[in-house]
Amino acid sequence: MIESVEAFDKIPELLSDIEQKRVELSSQLQEIEQHNDDLIMREDYLDNFASGSTEAYDLKIQQLTEQLSKIKSLSDLESFISTNKNLQEVSVVKQLKQLLQLQQANENFLRLAEDCNNRIIPQIKTLTEVSEVESYLNTEIFSNIEYTSEEIAFIKKIISEELYGHFLSLKADLTQNFNQLLLETNWDSYKFNNHELIHAMKAKSNQLYQFSILVQEWCPSEPMQYWNFESLANNFKIKFIYHFNNTQQQQQQQQDASQSIETFFSFMETYLSENLLKCIAIFHDEAIGLTKLTVHDQFINYILGPLRKKIKKILTSIVDNQNNLETLVRLITQIFKTDEILWEKYSYSGDGLITLLPNNVLKIWIQFETDIVDKQYAKNFSNYQGLSKIIRDGPNFVKYLLNLYNYFHPFLAVTTEKFFQYKIMVFKKIFLNLLKSFRESNMNYHQSHENDEITNFNENVVRLKNMISVYETMYVLEKQSDCIILNTQFNEITESHYETLFQAEMVEYQEAANALLESLVHRFKKMFGNSLRTYFKVNTWPSLTVTLENDRCSNELIGAVNILSNCYKIVQAHLTGKMNEKYVHRFQLNVINITVDYLMNYIVKLNNFSINGYKQIVQDYNFLKKNIGFEQNTIVSQNDGSLIETLKLYYSLTFEDHAEYPWLNKDYAKFDSNFVRLKRTFNLKYAKNEDISYILYKCL
């Protein structure tokens, strides 16, 4: 059976082949005794000739051969099988049946083709009205004969070329009249307000729209041609050609192609702003399926027609001239702006002008943009030195990254499949390379203030802030529809499972932020420890008789408090916003743990305390805790709770009577390592066993 209209000319050849195969099968029957498939027939007939003579058998074979040679159709074969049922499953007969079925199908298609050429097509050419053609195609052409769906599809294919030519001839008269009416009425001028003419224009538009639907049904094309919108855009086309295809304009275009494109778009946008809503209001008709959305999208689409043609011409001219690379980039920039406005301002859902760019232009453009971005980065961000510089560089880089995304957004938003590899190229060569370069510059920053620990600390906080800010920017960008769609396409094509195309860099930035936080904590610990040396030397805790006022700490602790307070203020000043909160909190907890470690190991464990001495160490700790942003009555970590409870235990065992309890006993302090009863008695939830043991020995 033929599979397409293109094989129509081969039907006679196919029929000839079938006939030849049928003859060959008939001749094969003479050698039927040589085939295993024919044993049924042989045995059946041999049983009827018990004498063993083969003369009757040979005669029967000769008769069967003659009968098969005369079979020309399926009905002949069915008659043969009805009288020779024992031969129905013989391979030769089955093959003959398949060939005859194929022959019948092809003969049927040949008959249909002849009917199209002799009856249907000539009849269509006599019809001069669209309504007559529509009536004939939809009601008369298949009215007298029942056709299968395959036959209907075949007929449509056979007549489509001739039919489309006839459609075009009918369309010429309709569009000429409609175009003339649209020009005469000046419907697209701000002065137009003639309701009688509106009715006439809408009627002609509806007629052309319905005609377009009919044409698409019988002669499908991609994309579909809307002839009514072709006419509705004709006024704009004439004005566009008048303004931009004259000699003077062409000379200006050669001097500055991007300015020319900007002018084209300005003209087009003005026209759309004045006429889009008017067009929707006048020409939409829900009754025939001409919705407001269809009018909206197709009017813009056909208005873009002259602009597309002009851009193609300019692109060809620029590509042929290898010295016009910068002009090409400026031209593409204008195309980006055009598409952005079409999508954002006019909610256009069709293909933008960016789809006009051929592959060779895309490659040239991407390489140019990559070189420009590399130069801009080297100029603005590579010299990563000094606090004031890194404070500016973080926000500036984020702003630069977002501006680049906005610049490339129209390109990334294109859904045409051919753009996939180029979108990935832009993403990798520009965005990911930029992110990598900034991260490496930030992490490899060399601090030159060897003796200025606070300045170095400040720089590290800013570097941490920069890492978090860029990470937050990636988090925002990965949620954009362009990035989501591109990531989905990438996973499907590469059989990957990335959550986002930023995934690898986001992991790197998180690790970089964690490393910088650890560096901050280490630097703070060093400064804080040095500032506590005088405090560690205080030996008046057992003899202290006076406690300072509640809002004061020990004089020897003031330097350490200043270090802690300054560091925390620096962290607070730079690490603002929701994304930074967890890093601020982690810094606070690290500072608390460092503070607890110093006080426990260098003050509590090494000294005894009077009541006032005890009160002063508690007051000093609360003062430090307050300056890191925590309330004194809250427990913020395991270490914080352990120090508070350990000091309370010391107070209870030292200044209260616990004679009835076995706590102050070397054996208890040594062997009851879990201190279950003691913890329950003193309601200890956080105190560490080693600290409890130390306090017990201290109080013996």
pLDDT (average), residues 633-649: 93
pTM above 0.85, yes or no: no
Q: Cα separation of 427 and 430, whole Å? A: 6
Residues 427-456 have pLDDT tens digits of 999 999 999 999 998 888 876 666 688 888
Burial class (CB in 10 A: 0-12, 13-18, 19+), 694: middle
Q: Cα separation of 209 and 215, whole Å? A: 10
pLDDT of 58 > 70? The answer is: no
pLDDT (average), residues 660-679: 78
DSSP 332-374: HHHHHHHHHHHHHTS---S--GGGG--HHHHHHHHHHHHHHHH
Cβ–Cβ < 8 Å for 607, 542: yes
pLDDT of residue 327: 75
Per CATH, the number for 528-699 is 1.20.58.670
pLDDT of residue 225: 93
Percent of the chain exceeding pLDDT 90 equals: 44
Q: Cα separation of 640 and 636, whole Å? A: 6
Residues 517-567 have pLDDT tens digits of 999 999 999 999 999 999 999 999 999 988 777 778 999 999 999 999 999
pLDDT of residue 438: 94
Helix (H) or strand (E) holding 124: helix 121-125
Cβ–Cβ < 8 Å for 116, 158: yes
pLDDT of 77 > 70? The answer is: no
pLDDT (average), residues 374-396: 85
Burial class (CB in 10 A: 0-12, 13-18, 19+), 163: buried
- pLDDT band at residue 2 using 50, 70 and 90 as cut-offs: very low
Cβ neighbour number for residue 259 with a 10 Å cutoff:
15
CA 588, 590, 593, 594 torsion-angle sign: negative
Q: Which of 381-385, 396-400, 404-408, 680-684 has the lowest mean pLDDT?
A: 381-385
pLDDT of 658 > 80? The answer is: no
Ranked by mean pLDDT, the top range of 85-89, 361-365, 403-407 is: 403-407
Domain range summary for the chain, segments of one domain joined by +? 5-126, 358-527, 528-699
Q: In this structure, what token pair is assigned to residue 127?
A: 């019809």
Q: In this structure, what token pair is assigned to residue 487?
A: 């990531």
Residues 190-210 have pLDDT tens digits of 878 777 889 999 999 999 999
Q: Which of 246-255, 298-307, 563-572, 656-665 has the lowest mean pLDDT?
A: 246-255
Mean pLDDT value across the chain: 82
pLDDT of residue 586: 95
Collapse the DSSP code of 285 into the 3-class scheme (helix H, G, I; strand E, B; otherwise coil) and give the result.
Answer: strand
